[in-house]
Amino acid sequence: MADRRVQRTALVPLTGVLFVVLTLASFIVGGEPPDADDPARKVVEFWSDHEGQAIVGSLLAGLAAVSLIFFAASVRRALRRGEDGTGVLSVAALAGGIVAATGIATDAAIRFALGDLAEDIDPIAVQTLNALWTDFFFPMVVGFATLILATSLAALRTRVIPVWLAWVGFLICVVFFTPAGFAAFLASGLWFVIASVLLWRHEAAASTEPAGIAV
């Protein structure tokens, strides 16, 4: 029974893959939203016509946020094993995941409101919400950058992930805060998938070690 619990726990790092899949699905379902400077009439028409898609996309994004929190928690556990003292990097990684998940949940809430209320509130209010939603990315940038940076810094000493992936992480963190930030978003998704699989393999290997030890 205990071995089964350990094996199930070893699967938690794969929530990083689940996070990326759910995030992609939420964007695909949502369709191409109107621009921030589109007229109010066009914005209202879009969200009214795509109410169901907006709600489903928001729910998928909410599930993605939950997955990200679990992934960040698994990263914290992996980093903590190799840390001394207060474990600043592992705490920073978890905090980054929580900040990003909060941003994603807030983003989903705005999208949900746009789809649900587009026909019920003032068109100018809908246009304003749409403009806010279009440029709502800073919480995700800060959270992702903190999670990736903390993990990459720890990897230089503990090899919790390969060093090459750590250097890729540093590059992503820099690009996040440049005009090419969208490319960093895309690259961070791939980074999360690779790190998730590597951490899962590490956890799976660690969970089998006690089996060969006589008690």
Q: Is the pLDDT of residue 212 over 60?
A: no
Q: Is the pLDDT of residue 20 over 80?
A: yes
Residues of the chain with pLDDT > 70, as a percent, come to 90
* pLDDT confidence of residue 54: 93
Average pLDDT of span 169-186:
95
87: left (phi over 0), alpha (psi -120 to 50) or beta: left
Residues of the chain with pLDDT > 90, as a percent, come to 72
Q: What is the pLDDT of residues 96-107, one digit of tens each?
A: 999 999 999 999
CA dist 146 → 77, 140, 143, 170 (Å): 16, 10, 5, 10
Distance CA 35, CA 112 (A): 17
* pLDDT confidence of residue 211: 43
Q: What is the pLDDT of residues 49-84, one digit of tens each?
A: 999 999 999 999 999 999 999 999 999 999 988 777
Exposure b/e, 23-61, CB count within 10 A at least 16 = b? bebbeebbeebbeeebebeebbbbbbebbebbbbbbbbb
Distance CA 173, CA 167 (A): 10
Exposure b/e, 77-108, CB count within 10 A at least 16 = b? bbbbeebeeebebbebbbbbbbbbbbbbbbbb
Confidence of residue 207 (pLDDT cuts 50, 70, 90): low
* pLDDT confidence of residue 92: 96
Mean pLDDT of the chain: 88
* pLDDT confidence of residue 209: 53
Q: Is the pLDDT of residue 4 over 60?
A: no
Q: DSSP letter string over 29-45?
A: HH--PPPTTS-HHHHHH
Q: What is the pLDDT of residues 23-50, one digit of tens each?
A: 999 999 977 888 888 899 999 999 999 9
Domain with 107, as residue range(s), is: 2-212
**Total domain count, the chain:** 1
CA dist 103 → 31, 44, 96, 215 (Å): 20, 24, 11, 47
Q: Is the pLDDT of residue 210 over 60?
A: no
* pLDDT confidence of residue 61: 96
